[in-house]
Structure 1
């Protein structure tokens, strides 16, 4: 039986690389890793908290260094996601993190863009791209990242985000980069309300986001949740990620049911599936346990997607056909 179709809007492409492939890429590039075997790498992926996760993410993903690596990452993940029913993905990547270590913008953006084309040709998954900056980045470099993202708008880049440690800096520090991206036609899709409280969600809403990545702390304030509904802002929720980084202590205490009851649209994603030991089917199953079924998750994904209208119409037809048959 074929899996139900899925839309995934929150997946960091660098965090999709399974341990065996990551080790092979590191050897190919002569790049250091804090592990020599899959078992050692798995031990590094036992995160104490969110800050520890960020440290490990940086230490491991910097073995990605060339056009070939970035292209492979997209194609490999599309193959994996397709097995779980994915028909549309918006892949996050962090180009400035690589540029600071000597990698060329063209190799990063070109690799991911070409990988997205190959992913569709080989696996039938539509891939769009949403590069991210982090809250500890020099603002001038953040602005250049936004300009580079706009240059690749006709090659699959549809959004611009910000992530990293939420407490490191406010969004005002990056207001110019956000404006460059928005003026260039890209949707703003920041991480917010993941590690810090609901104030982070309020701050992000001042910058007119299309979606919020995570945003689960909006459940702590009914007024903020209502504002999300009124403005049609979709949250990208990643249950296993929240558990593995200790943002949420137990699945039973996850805020998703509260958000669902408030009427907030919540798409479902894997975040960093290789690092969190999960996959898209598992995340959809966890979401269903929390009250968001596959049809609801698909509808939220469709509402929040930054694709063009012909693609949106195609995805809508896929959803209607699939979920009518399942009902």
Structure 2
């Protein structure tokens, strides 16, 4: 039996398979640097983190319509369900679409929201959404994004994140956008501690981050580890992503065992599964090689989930049994955050 799973860190734009991306690009009149499936797969063979970001921007700008956005949610929901996912907290990046192509906020948010509804209806998979800003985003655009995200809170938005190149600049310019989201009931879930270390992580924590997407560089600093554990901050760990972007050189060097030994809760995730040639099952296989069981990963995912309490309680009842390896109710799981 496939073990039940929770995924908290997957970029929907990075989950689009090459054949689907080609179809969407052609329909929207977008020219890609490769016009075959094999060509796109070759394009996805990243040389470093900067290369990955360049390719990500170039390819994901193909998405233009509400139906495009709906489709990527539904397509990935089926893939995740087939690997045992029962709850998915997915990321999308609306500000780039607005800035680069003038697509309306409502076109974007409606498409993703409708995709989440369809995923529940067709696959029984609960999907919640966390829009992402990006480092370097114009401040006014970031604040508009936060405002729209709050407006869509009753249509599946549960948090606000920020991604992009950590080395490009600090989070401080986005303090107001973060505050708009927090005041509107959307917690802050930034990328930090992937390509950069202590300063990036500490800044995110100081701005009220309740989860860190990646956060693996915290393993280099005992004081940060202590703070993360004491605050109950969950790290969203993505093993294959870390290897493909070169922030971790090989699996044996991955800091996941050190993080777990320090008592940090680590969810297991795909990040950009189509671009990295992975899936949720594969990530859990890698995590198990690093000492993280299905029950460990599920408990961390549950602790970090931002969905409403009724959903958490239902998802808690589906957890893998930590004693037998079978799927069953959790009797001594983490305290659920309201």
Give the corresponding residue for 1:6. Answer: 5
Could you state the TM-score of these two structures normalised by the residue count of structure 2?
A: 0.95
Per-residue deviation at 1:326? 2.2
Number of residue equivalences = 325
Per-residue deviation at 1:323? 4.7
Higher helix share: 1
Per-residue deviation at 1:325? 5.2
Give the corresponding residue for 1:169. Answer: 169
Matched residue SS, 1:88: strand
String of CA shifts for 1:122-147, please: whole Å, max 9, x gaps: 01110000000001100000000000
Per-residue deviation at 1:198? 2.0
Give the corresponding residue for 2:28. Answer: 29
Task: Find out whether 1:241 has 2:241 as its counterpart.
Answer: yes
Per-residue deviation at 1:161? 0.3
Give the corresponding residue for 1:204. Answer: 204
Task: Find out whether 1:133 has 2:133 as its counterpart.
Answer: yes
Per-residue deviation at 1:104? 1.0
Give the corresponding residue for 1:59. Answer: 58
String of CA shifts for 1:235-285, please: whole Å, max 9, x gaps: 000000000000100000001010010000000110000000000000011
Task: Find out whether 1:18 has 2:6 as its counterpart.
Answer: no
Give runs of aligned pairs for residues 116-155 of structure 1, distance below 5 A. 116-155=116-155
Give the corresponding residue for 1:103. Answer: 103
Could you state the TM-score of these two structures normalised by the residue count of structure 1?
A: 0.98
Matched residue SS, 1:319: coil
Give runs of aligned pairs for residues 213-228 of structure 1, distance below 5 A. 213-228=213-228
Gaps of 5+ in 2: 327-338
Give the corresponding residue for 1:159. Answer: 159
Distance 1:291 1:166 in 2: 28
Matched residue SS, 1:263: coil
Matched residue SS, 1:129: strand
Distance 2:90 2:31 in 1: 25
Matched residue SS, 1:278: coil
Per-residue deviation at 1:324? 5.6
